[in-house]
Amino acid sequence: MVSPKFEDCLKAIYRLQDGDTPAASSEIASAIGVKPPTVTTMLQRMDEESLVHYESYQGARLTERGERGALKVLRNHRLLELFLTEELGYDWAAVHAEADVLEHHLSETLVERIEVLLGLPAVDPHGEPIPTADLEIRECETQQLLAECQEGTVAVVSEVRESSTDVLSYLSNAGISLGTELEVVEIAPFGMVTCEVRAAENPLSLPTGVAAEIYVSRPAERAENERRQHNEA
């Protein structure tokens, strides 16, 4: 059985690694809130247990077993976040810390019952995909980063990967949630993206670091019109 600390580490590596590029030990340490020497010891033990491939001064990549472990805990985490918002009335800014505590202590039976209760959901409250019972993850290929949109782009918020309570609360107060329609009106050269938000009176300016954690999709009606125009042409 994988310990909760190891599960936290697997989840962090899953987010931080990029293809064949390993996750740096310092970044893993920061993500799970421990000191770098502690992470080094953990990674060495996880390498021995075939959960990661670890090399000193290079970092760690998940093995196939490690990736399944990461997806299992992500499945628990994201279903818990949705359960807390949908059934217990939590704000989307408050569920991350709660799910971090509970995710390690769920039986597979309880996870399956939560999933059925919620109607077999595809995404969590922040729009991130929920791994299936077979630990497959369904990524949306039509999304793009808000930070990469051009001025004049009209889009709908489909995913927010920022987990900071302060940032999520700020977005909520500014009228941003999943499904919010917005238009990019200015991209400043000094790192700010300004949007007109349909549900808000005033434009919203976001640092590019935050905009780089927000994914958007084209509004369904606009996408359908473009599809029809393409077919007619």
In whole angstroms, give the CA distance from residue 224 to residue 141. Answer: 16
pLDDT band at 191; cut points 50, 70, 90: confident
pLDDT band at 220 (very low <50, low <70, confident <90, very high): low
Rounded distance, CA 210 to CA 147, Å? Answer: 8
Top pLDDT among 220 and 111 is at: 111
Is the pLDDT score of 233 beyond 80?
no
Is 127 a residue whose pLDDT tops 60? yes
Angle of helix 25-32 versus helix 36-48 axis, rounded to 10: 110
Instruction: State the pTM of this model.
Output: 0.87
Phi, psi torsion values for 122, nearest 5 degrees: -95, -25
* Percent of the chain clearing pLDDT 90 (strictly above): 76
Measured CA to CA, the distance from residue 93 to residue 166 in angstroms comes to: 8
Strand-pair partners of 176: none
- Predicted confidence at residue 15, as pLDDT, reads 93
Supply the mean pLDDT for the chain. 90
The pLDDT value recorded for residue 190 is 83
Q: How confident is the model at residue 228 (pLDDT cuts 50, 70, 90)?
A: very low
Average of per-residue pLDDT across 138-144? 80
User: Domains in the chain and their CATH numbers?
Assistant: 4-62 (1.10.10.10), 144-221 (2.30.30.90)
Is 49 within 8 Å of 56 (Cβ atoms)? no
What pLDDT was estimated at residue 199? 73
- Nearest by Cα to 49 from 76, 69, 35: 69
Predicted local confidence at residue 94, as pLDDT: 94
Decide if 41 contacts 47 (C-beta within 8 A).
Answer: no
- Pairwise pLDDT comparison (156 vs 227), residue with the higher score: 156
**Mean pLDDT value across residues 121-134:** 95
pLDDT > 70 fraction of the chain, expressed in percent and rounded: 94
Task: Give yes or no for residue 227 having a pLDDT over 80.
Answer: no
Q: What is the pLDDT of residue 225?
A: 42
Q: How far, in Å, CA of 13 to CA of 31, rounded?
A: 9
64-88 helix and 95-102 helix, angle to the nearest 10 degrees:
130
176 pLDDT above the threshold of 50: yes
Classify strands 52-55 and 59-62 as parallel, antiparallel or unpaired: antiparallel
Average pLDDT over residues 181-207: 89
Contacts 24+ apart (CB under 8 A), 36-40: 39/9
Mean pLDDT of 156-183: 90
> What pLDDT does 173 receive?
86
Note the pLDDT of residue 138.
82
Q: How many CA atoms lie within 13 A of 192 on its CB side?
A: 10
